[in-house]
Structure 1
Amino acid sequence: MMSIPTMMNDVTDFTSKLVGFASINPPGDELEILQYLNGLLTEVGFETELVFFGERRGNLIARYGPQDDPICLSGHVDVVPLGLKDWSQSPFEPKVVDGKLYGRGTTDMKGGVAAMLIAASRLIANGEALKRGILVVITGGEETGCDGVQALMDRSDLKAGMLLIPEPSSNIPLVGHKGAFWIRLMASGKTAHGSMPEQGDNAAYKLVDAVSRLKAAQVPGGVHKVFGPTTMNLGRMNAGLNINSVPDQAWADLDFRTTPNTPHEELLHWVKSHVEDLDISIEIIVDLNPVYTNPDDHQVTRLLQRLHLEGVDHDPGTVMFFTDGALLKPLLGNCPFVVLGPGEPHLAHQTDEYCFVERLEQAVELYEQLLLDYCQDRQIS
């Protein structure tokens, strides 16, 4: 029998260790945490591979057991910046207060990563041969548009029969999420002295007109029966270098969260049709399709039955945020996809982010049972 590394005996301690790696993205630096996890998973018995996509940027792929139809466990280890507001707890020195583990990444999503790796390690430590194997894909760069998975899209050796991602869901199963279509509108003009604006061509005015037109229009697609409407948010704007000049350049970033009713090609055409007379150019920043698995899928039904037996009696839902599943699902062969994680969705990216210790412990137990069901093809009754 294999032994479990000491650090992986307690999910709170393991999560705290992972949170201690300040893998903030942007700028992005996952190297140290990936090297640490690589060492642990090698010790457990996984065959591992580090895949780099930039300086100190990377993914970790780990395999155990038969790989014809494995379950893929995938999570990202980059975290968003801390924000401008002061934290009441140290973000990278996790501390438990009133049953809550505080720290950047506890909820999104190092707690989920810790829980799933502990569960997988316990299954392997039992020493019983698996009928189906485990494929672990730990990614970097998720927070800025799934950059890590983008670097894996030409791989033909990554296939799975099911994909489980422990993004924050309060341990409630989710079977889909909206897509993300991020674009930058760029306006050009002619600079001039601010006291003589008639001699210039103000790029900012063009940009404001473009955004106003889009805001007043109806985003195409209507209301999807599962996801609701496609939404648009103006996330950032920038124009000019100084107050007393006419800006000759301006840009705005728009964040569309899309449903299957709104193909991204049609959405781009819709945007162009509203701004084409304003000399606006468009750059696509992120292009991720929505993801959905029918709850009646055989593997999802089995998972829901197991969760019911374990006391998690919730109908499967969907979420507005995107995950690496947008790219991993098609990469792995369009296998069934479920999000199930211990974090709290409303605390992701928040100041004083935390995860309930009780949910972390529950997640380990749930993942153990789900892995036994899938990897040993265990009957559920």
Structure 2
Amino acid sequence: MDTRLATSITYLSDMIRIDSRNTLALGAPGLREANEEDMADYLTGKLNALGFSVARQYPAPKRPNLIARHHVDDGLPTLAFNAHMDTVGTAGMSIDPFDPQVRDGRLYGRGSCDTKGSLAAMLTACETLIATKTPINLLYIATCAEETGCQGSALLDLSGYTVDGVIVGEPTRNHLVVAHKCHATIELHCRGKAAHGSRPHLGDNAIYKAGHLLNYLETVTIPELARIKDEVFRDGCTLSVGIIAGGVKNNIVPDFCRLVCDFRLVPCVTAPNEFFADMTARASAALGFTVELQVVDISPAMHTAAEHPLPASIRTTLRQHGLDDTPSGVAYCTDGGQLSAMGFPCVVMGPGDIAVAHSAVEYLELDQFQQAYELYVDVATEFAKQGPQHSPPPGSN
């Protein structure tokens, strides 16, 4: 077995044994199963041993974002590796989630694919890049609370750090992803007037209004969304209504009903709040009653031009490895959306298949794992040739 792959397997196995489940949003009440503190402790030890200076930022107690920096020279570009430390829960898993097993060319365990595999491959890549004195500055950013709407990365403070490009580790089977959609959760509220069920004509049934709204969304809004396309996403924007809730008792005419909606917006929709406000206003005008809007959460889209030095370096590296270098987009969100919104050029690329992320039997193909480490090293080497893309900000550390 390749020595570096063996090292990566050791790192990943250690990480899988660390419980970092995240099933409650930041600030949500309730008893947490785990947190990211132990993962941050493990990474800090490894990164310190490589010569990184490590800092932690805490959006919540025991929920750190970790930022590690290996600085060589101000005149060199800085490449950031990013992946998240938290995993989804383990309910329904049919394997031991915290007992890493290697068999049949795979490593099994919760987080192996999403995204401790990326964390481990990036750690091994950093070890190699430092040992070979590759002329590049490195950041290693491990985030918390990604699985609950990319909350941790939204609260990262990278002021004082120079970042010329970010590789976000997510399971893309090591394909290059230059764009992903915005994910928004919104609620649409319909209000009516309560009355006794025996005299419904005295009330105004909010559920019936919600029914009209559902029909409008299906026949008008969804086709309109599908027509909003860009150069990456030819399927347009999408909408799925996931929850309908209204009424308090069967013999009371309901005065309230809400629809909880999942939207995926293409990156060219640059102002989601205004977009939803306009959509709701048009629905109200068409239906003849007020539809109220509540924006629950918005995770930003990501789009980096394929010609940017980072994806260009990745495409060159992929071709050198005999791999498909076609840039693509995905519908799901990543920390790359939040980092891109901060002004940092981002791509998503990592080992694993999104189809087995969060699954009852989560695993990582070892050939992809080794390939990821090799690609990260070669991409950084190629990117180093591009030179810095930004001047160091005042007070950089």
The corresponding residue for 2:21 is 24
- Out of 219, 223, 229, the position equivalent to 2:224 is 219
Change (3 A) 1:63 1:241: farther
Q: Return the offset for 1:59.
A: 0.7
Name which of structure 1's ranges 109-118 and 23-32 shifts more when overlaid on structure 2: 23-32
The corresponding residue for 2:65 is 59
The corresponding residue for 2:392 is none
Q: Return the offset for 1:245.
A: 4.6
| Cα distance in structure 1, aligned partners of 2:244 and 2:140 | 38
Q: 1:176 touches 1:291 (CA, 8 Å); kept in 2?
A: yes
- Out of 168, 192, 212, the position equivalent to 2:171 is 168
Q: Return the offset for 1:224.
A: 2.4
1:368 aligns with 2:377: yes
Change (3 A) 1:222 1:37: same
| Cα distance in structure 2, aligned partners of 1:377 and 1:316 | 19
- Out of 303, 312, 329, the position equivalent to 1:301 is 312
The corresponding residue for 2:258 is 251
| Per-residue CA distance 1:40-65 (angstroms, 9 max, x = gap) | 21222111111111233221111011
Look up the SS of the partner of 2:89 in the other structure.
coil
| Cα distance in structure 1, aligned partners of 2:99 and 2:47 | 24
| Cα distance in structure 2, aligned partners of 1:30 and 1:192 | 50
Look up the SS of the partner of 2:279 in the other structure.
helix
Q: Return the offset for 1:199.
A: 5.3
- Out of 337, 340, 344, the position equivalent to 1:329 is 340
Look up the SS of the partner of 1:41 in the other structure.
helix
Residue identity opposite 1:186 in structure 2: H
- Out of 358, 362, 365, the position equivalent to 1:349 is 358
Look up the SS of the partner of 2:160 in the other structure.
coil
Q: 1:7 touches 1:14 (CA, 8 Å); kept in 2?
A: no
Look up the SS of the partner of 2:209 in the other structure.
helix
| Cα distance in structure 2, aligned partners of 1:345 and 1:67 | 37
Residue identity opposite 2:347 in structure 1: V
1:291 aligns with 2:291: no
Structure 1, gaps ≥5 residues long: 1-5
| Cα distance in structure 2, aligned partners of 1:177 and 1:362 | 23
Residue identity opposite 1:138 in structure 2: A
| Cα distance in structure 2, aligned partners of 1:190 and 1:37 | 57
| Per-residue CA distance 1:84-109 (angstroms, 9 max, x = gap) | xx333122323233222222222121
Change (3 A) 1:18 1:200: farther
| Per-residue CA distance 1:25-82 (angstroms, 9 max, x = gap) | 3215222212222222122211111111123322111101147541011111222234
Q: 2:180 touches 2:267 (CA, 8 Å); kept in 1?
A: no
1:75 aligns with 2:79: no
Q: 2:280 touches 2:292 (CA, 8 Å); kept in 1?
A: no
| Cα distance in structure 1, aligned partners of 2:330 and 2:260 | 22
Alignment of 1:1-381 (within 5 A): 10-27=7-24, 29-66=35-72, 68=74, 69-82=77-90, 86-126=92-132, 128=133, 131-152=135-156, 155-191=158-194, 197-198=200-201, 200-217=203-220, 218-220=223-225, 221-228=227-234, 229-241=236-248, 243=250, 245-263=252-270, 264=272, 265-275=274-284, 277-331=288-342, 333-335=343-345, 337-375=346-384
Change (3 A) 1:244 1:58: farther
Identity of aligned residues (%): 31
Structure 2, gaps ≥5 residues long: 26-34, 388-397
Look up the SS of the partner of 1:108 in the other structure.
coil
Name which of structure 1's ranges 282-291 and 361-370 shifts more when overlaid on structure 2: 282-291
Residue identity opposite 2:266 in structure 1: T
| Cα distance in structure 2, aligned partners of 1:165 and 1:230 | 23
| Cα distance in structure 1, aligned partners of 2:198 and 2:360 | 43
Residue identity opposite 2:87 in structure 1: V
Name which of structure 1's ranges 355-364 and 27-36 shifts more when overlaid on structure 2: 27-36
Change (3 A) 1:339 1:213: same
Change (3 A) 1:260 1:375: closer
Change (3 A) 1:43 1:215: same
